[in-house]
Amino acid sequence: MTISELMEKLHKASPEGIKLVEKAYSFAEEAHRGQLRNSGEEYIQHPLEVAKILLELEMDEATIAAAFLHDVVEDTHYTNEDIEREFGSQVAILVDGVTKLGRIEYKSKEELQVENLRKMFLAMAKDIRVILIKLADRLHNMRTLKFHSEKKQKEIALETLEIFAPLANRLGIFRIKWELEDLSFRYLKPQEYYDLSEGIALKRAEREVQINEVISQLSKRLAEVGIKADISGRPKHFYSIYRKMINQHRELSEIYDLTAVRVIVDSVNDCYGALGIIHTMWKPLPGRFKDYIAMPKPNMYQSLHTTLVGAHGEPFEIQIRTWEMHRTAEYGIAAHWKYKEGAGKPVGGNFEQKLSWLRQMLEWQHDSPDAGEFMESLKIDLFADTVFVFTPKGDVVELPAGSCPVDFAYRVHTDVGHRCVGAKINSRIVPLETKLANGDIVEILTSKQSNGPSRDWLSFVKTSQAKNRIRGWFKKEKREENIVRGREGIEREVRKLGLDPAQVLKSDLLLKIGKSYNPVFDS
């Protein structure tokens, strides 16, 4: 894409906005002049492509300008003060946010990844647009990954698959998520990627005939009942097909829903009306209907999903949504980040609620100083599948799959968790380690006479929130008991070595050992 082509797509922008973007491009072009990418092309092509991706997400002019400038401070002699002087504080804050995401010293690769994530969460809390620029930056880097060494390709692809694709998913930006996943898959498992690509190509013609038949029949029937609908076939993405094959231990020939039919209508009533018609035309598969309209996913995704049996006995999936839901499914959080003139605020009163998971991340990240623990918690809390359960009053509580009543208790309130003595699921008393399922009504039984949480709970709770609250309670409430237990453990190990515990405990040996494992002993 050229700058003139990009500017043509900015026709809806204000004159001031267009002037800002043009100025940012000229500034970036001059700043990066003489710099080349690994591909051999001029460096300015990268920020231009990043800006194009963000323009496709319909981001505001300040974000597009920041996209052009996002590497200027890091890769040229210009400072953030220069950016603020030339473009104002809003653009400067965005550029500074992106710059800070890539600047820190690390002791290990795991710490590098963890620190990147900590900074991303903080950046998101300040302005979600910083992360949208970072995602667009990563997407273009993945598109040009072939110009790196094989070792570098795999490193970048793995990080993308583990961190950036799930993050795009959590923000509901599926168009970026799918592409990041497929590109990562291509570099991490090239043979499997090309085998799958060839296999799907062989089945495509046959599949298209079947799907076109479904579209034709459904279009005619919905028109007869007065439901206006846009109906199309959507091929499933390679990585999602590969994951299904691995998780379900199937061959490609056993995967039938390679293409989904998407039905877009004008209203929620039409969604359910279309669903009723569809279920009279084809037999639905039991247990394969999902209502994400009544119960949206954490990333704001809404649709009705149903899997049906076709005329030739082959299963196929239909997704039904409104145009507004379709926009959210494509653009995710970006669809809700339209700035009011001069206000700098996202449109939509429930925007903060939609990012409640981010507040939870910020709340517990400071309680997990250990890099390995942070990564493990992150994979569970942020990127895991989700279950939705209800309080007795009917409020919905979202938890990672595999959570138990104790996780539920701590999600409701720390004191509820600490005073928990039992639980009921659907009015039946159950063990505290029972795994929760979608739709469960969970009631926590508490007692003021409770002695607090049990250490045993740490063996079965799923969420980092619950683990951190339980550990925190024992650190605070059981300090003396912990000291006694620690002393007993040390004495036991010292005796195994044939040493006298009394002599060892009196010496400065333990202090030296402590310093070698934890720098806090030096203070």
CATH of 3-147, one of 1.10.10.60, 3.30.420.40, 3.40.50.720, 1.10.3210.10: 1.10.3210.10
Q: Identify the pLDDT of residue 522.
A: 46
- Is residue 321 classed as helix, strand or coil in its secondary structure? strand
Does residue 375 carry a pLDDT above 70?
no
Give the pLDDT band of residue 502 (cuts 50, 70, 90): confident
Question: What are 219-278's pLDDT values in tens digits?
Answer: 999 999 999 999 998 888 899 889 988 888 888 877 767 778 999 999 999 999 999 999
Number of Cβ within a 10 Å radius of residue 205 = 8
Side-chain-side CA neighbours of 153 within 13 Å: the count stands at 17
Say if residues 474 and 484 touch (Cβ distance below 8 Å). Answer: no
What pTM value is reported for the model?
0.68
| DSSP state string for 78-134 | --HHHHHHHH-HHHHHHHHHHHHHT----SSHHHHHHHHHHHHHHHHHH-HHHHHHH
Give the pLDDT band of residue 347 (cuts 50, 70, 90): very low
Annotation marks residue 115 as catalytic: no
Give the pLDDT band of residue 299 (cuts 50, 70, 90): confident
Catalytic residue among 74, 84, 110, 376: 74
Number of Cβ within a 10 Å radius of residue 281 = 12
Residues facing residue 319 across a β-bridge = 262, 305
Annotation marks residue 74 as catalytic: yes
Domain(s) of CATH 1.10.3210.10: residues in the chain: 3-147
Domain(s) of CATH 3.30.460.10: residues in the chain: 191-333
Give the pLDDT band of residue 117 (cuts 50, 70, 90): low
Residues present in the chain in total: 523
Catalytic residue among 5, 30, 41, 75: 75
Q: Identify the pLDDT of residue 7.
A: 85
Q: Identify the pLDDT of residue 111.
A: 55
Q: Identify the pLDDT of residue 328.
A: 87
Nearest-angstrom CA–CA distance, 434 and 423: 9
Output the CATH code of domain 191-333: 3.30.460.10
Q: What is the largest CA-CA distance in the chain?
A: 92
Q: Which residue has the tokens 């079965």?
A: 460
